[in-house]
Structure 1
Amino acid sequence: MHLLRPLPQYLVSRYHGWVATSYAENSAWYRRLADDGQRPRAMVISCCDSRVHVTSIFGADSGEFFIHRNIANLVPPYAPDGLQHGTSAAVEYAVTALKVAHLIVVGHTSCGGVAGCHAMCSGQAPELEEKSSFVGRWMDILRPGYERVKDLPADQQVAALEREAVLVSIENLMGFPFVKAAVEGEQLSLHGLVHDIRAGTLEQAEDGGRRWTRV
């Protein structure tokens, strides 16, 4: 059975356009990246959401960010249990091998994963409670955040939970021994941001997440 198909033509056209422009104009830089390896200054953990484009937001070039994306920009608790943990592996590689100086968690408004977590935890999405739901089991990571916002006025809970997705991830990052050691040794700094898709703004967490200020 043949499952693989050629790329859609619009993607082929875009690729050839990139080769003829961006790559051609910066080919020496790409050769250097290939020959010398990557030395990113920061790791960015962001959501899979197609509307969140961190390299565009920060005007980043190839080789500048080590990027990991998942549903709702979550970092699971440290759990060396022999199972497969893609996010934890990416964090380990960034901190211990690449020696990034900054680890940035970027949340965003209108996050479908966060909304799903809120619906699940408030009893409105029983399908996510099923053991077979990959999304539901992933969003279990954010349950502690839901517990912190569930008593807010109903119209404020989802927005607050979007911020909790960042803060829970930062808290979990500090449970990784190599992250904690790098932070305490002042070799690594942690940053929590929320991007407003509609307004184009960024807010950053300060005072342990007790307040958020515009970047």
Structure 2
Amino acid sequence: MEDIERFIEGFGRFQKQYFAAGHPLFASLREGQHPSTLVIGCCDSRVDPALLTDSAPGDMFVVRNIANLVPPCTPQAPPGVSSAIEFAVCNLQVERVIVLGHARCGGIAALMAPRQLAPETDFVGRWMKIAEPVRQRIESGYQHRSLDERRRLLEQASILQSLDNLMTYPWIASRVAQGSLKLHGWYFDMECGALMAYSARQQCFLPMVPAAQAGPRAA
């Protein structure tokens, strides 16, 4: 119950900030939303896109799922994620899509060491099959690397797989070709507090915001 009370108190602070003080933001948002960015992030409780980017309500349209995966555009694609992407791109006309992955991803860990559950109830395992081709490439090409290194490689490679899968949606591919939609792959390294972005030119993830500097130790 302590968590519930904390959440309720938190909403009270939110209410005071955006409603009780005559803040104009929600007066505008009541008329509709116009986010410029779609973020496809992970469900992980440590990786809240709005918190990480210090964004206000209405700034971004967020789709969160296990391991920030995008299924390819097929009749069998899970409609929940695909419909959210369609709404953001076709209805809201977002200008960019960011696939936001992160270090220590539980979904990627599950892909590398699957649990022994019955197929009909292993929802995580079935969902993570989207990234199975990437796992096979990493495991076969980097056998000499440590488990932690392979996991990090897979976390980043799955972001690129999701970017490739986004391009299988015709209404995304056409807007990218027209230059009205940009796709980005970001990686939050919670080990050191850095934010990295994929560079197609360098073919690797490079720091956009470098690792946080450790503050002075308490006496």
Both structures adopt the same fold (TM-score exceeding 0.5): yes
Return the alpha-carbon distance in structure 1 between the equivalents of residues 44 and 59 of structure 2: 21
Aligned twin of 2:101: 107
Per the TM alignment, residue 47 of structure 1 is displaced from its structure 2 partner at its CA by: 0.2
* 1:180-191 → structure 2 map (5 Å cutoff): 180-191=173-184
Aligned twin of 2:146: 154
Q: Retained in 2: the 8 A contact 1:167–1:209?
A: no
Aligned twin of 1:11: 7
Return the alpha-carbon distance in structure 2 between the equivalents of residues 195 and 144 of structure 1: 23
Comparing both structures, which one devotes a greater share of its residues to helix? 1
The amino acid across from 2:137 in the alignment is R
Q: Retained in 2: the 8 A contact 1:108–1:194?
A: yes
Aligned twin of 2:167: 174
Residue ranges of structure 2 left out of the alignment (5+ in a row)? 209-219
Aligned twin of 2:216: none
- SS of aligned partner of 2:113: helix
Q: Percent identity?
A: 33
Aligned twin of 2:132: 143
Over 3 Å counting, the alpha-carbon distance change for 1:209 and 1:102 in structure 2 is farther
Q: Tell me the number of residue pairs that the alignment of Structure 1 and Structure 2 aligns.
A: 203
The amino acid across from 1:50 in the alignment is S
Return the alpha-carbon distance in structure 2 between the equivalents of residues 200 and 26 of structure 1: 35
Question: Which among 87, 109, 130 is matched to residue 119 of structure 2?
Answer: 130
Per the TM alignment, residue 15 of structure 1 is displaced from its structure 2 partner at its CA by: 1.4
Question: Which among 66, 82, 85 is matched to residue 88 of structure 1?
Answer: 82
Q: Retained in 2: the 8 A contact 1:101–1:188?
A: yes
Return the alpha-carbon distance in structure 1 between the equivalents of residues 29 and 203 of structure 2: 40
- SS of aligned partner of 1:8: helix
Q: Retained in 1: the 8 A contact 2:100–2:186?
A: yes
**RMSD, matched Cα:** 2.0
Residue ranges of structure 1 left out of the alignment (5+ in a row)? none
Over 3 Å counting, the alpha-carbon distance change for 1:111 and 1:209 in structure 2 is farther
The answer as to 2:193 corresponding to 1:200 is yes
Return the alpha-carbon distance in structure 2 between the equivalents of residues 165 and 26 of structure 1: 44
* 1:25-44 → structure 2 map (5 Å cutoff): 25=21, 27-35=23-31, 37-44=32-39
Aligned twin of 2:212: none
